[in-house]
Amino acid sequence: MSKAAVSTTSAASRSLRYMLALLVAACGAVVVAALLFFAWQSFYPVQASNGWSYRVMYNNVQRAASILPMADGSLLVSQELQDGKGSILRIAADGSRKVVLAELSKPDGITPAQGGWVFSQEVDNKGVSLVRDGKVVDLFSGSGVQGLLDDGKDLYAIEDRKGNGRLLRYRWSDQQLTVLRDNLSEAEALTRCSDGRVLYSEKERGLVYQLSDGPSDPVVLRDLSKPAFMLCDNRGLWISEDSTHRASLLLVGADGQRQTVLSFLKAPQSVVATDHGTYLVAEGGRNRVLEITPPDLDETHHDIDKLLNQRDSHGDGLQDHMSEVLTPQG
């Protein structure tokens, strides 16, 4: 082989090695960028809408799903682990913890009923059960039951299944189980509003329906991102987005306006109201329970603190001022 041919071959080899090095470096940069992006999504702090605030109420609640405030100030929280590793945890007002039920598989919904409380397990062929006076009574079986709703006369349950989920009604008086709706796709939540309407969601389709007496149900909200748990109260309809990253907690007012109360959540689940005006959110993706404070509650607390600080100068008039602050304004 001539010297010219050898030189050409060497130059081509060096060029190929250079190109391969550039390719490896580029792939490495893409991988690093992707890892940084996922890390950013995981650790970026939750953001609250203007006027709203939040705090971490409890950490280390594994796969927190449903929350049920109890009369004694404690909380029941379902820890949605699979394969018999799930449990329902009681967190006392002083922060102490006790496992109430263990060896469950994806315990999810919890609702008060019949002087006790009912819970579901979101796996196939697992029962919906009533816990009362320290005893567990199986009520009926379902497949992937998640959301629960009780009105005293009937217990409603909804199955989180892809394309073949059902909305069930269990009648307490005679234990009759009725399939109200079927062929639902990833239906997760049920809630009742103060006007008596029952709403349910389909996560896959991004829809919320109003349960009707007829064979079909009107859509009341659409174009939602993975709607999961819902709560209907005097502020409107609360909806958590069941996304692993950058999920939001929405509040839909009576006028249909949507407000993002919290953003950058990880797999938020249930949202419940407390008896002192705040809200609790189970953030399953970060294994914790958050407490949200509304703007008007913050303002009330600020006014009360201000009046207390002025106690010496206002004297006997303090109680009258306190009454004005705590009385709802028309």
Alpha-carbon distance of 252 to 274, in angstroms, equals: 19
Written as six digits, the tokens of 155 are 């217990």
Helix (H) or strand (E) holding 223: none
List strands edge to edge, sheet with 135-143.
107-113, 116-121, 124-132, 135-143
pTM above 0.85, yes or no: no
| Reduced DSSP (H G I as helix, E B as strand, rest coil) percent helix, strand, coil of the chain, to 5 | 25, 45, 30
Alpha-carbon distance of 118 to 100, in angstroms, equals: 13
pLDDT per residue of the chain (330 residues) written in tens, 0 to 9? 555 554 555 665 666 676 666 666 655 544 444 443 444 445 689 999 999 999 999 999 999 999 999 999 999 999 999 999 999 999 999 999 999 999 999 999 999 999 999 999 999 888 899 999 999 999 999 999 999 999 999 999 999 999 999 999 999 999 999 999 999 999 999 999 999 999 999 999 999 999 999 989 999 999 999 999 999 999 999 999 988 788 999 999 989 999 999 999 999 999 999 999 999 999 999 999 999 999 988 554 444 344 334 444 444 433 333 233 333 333
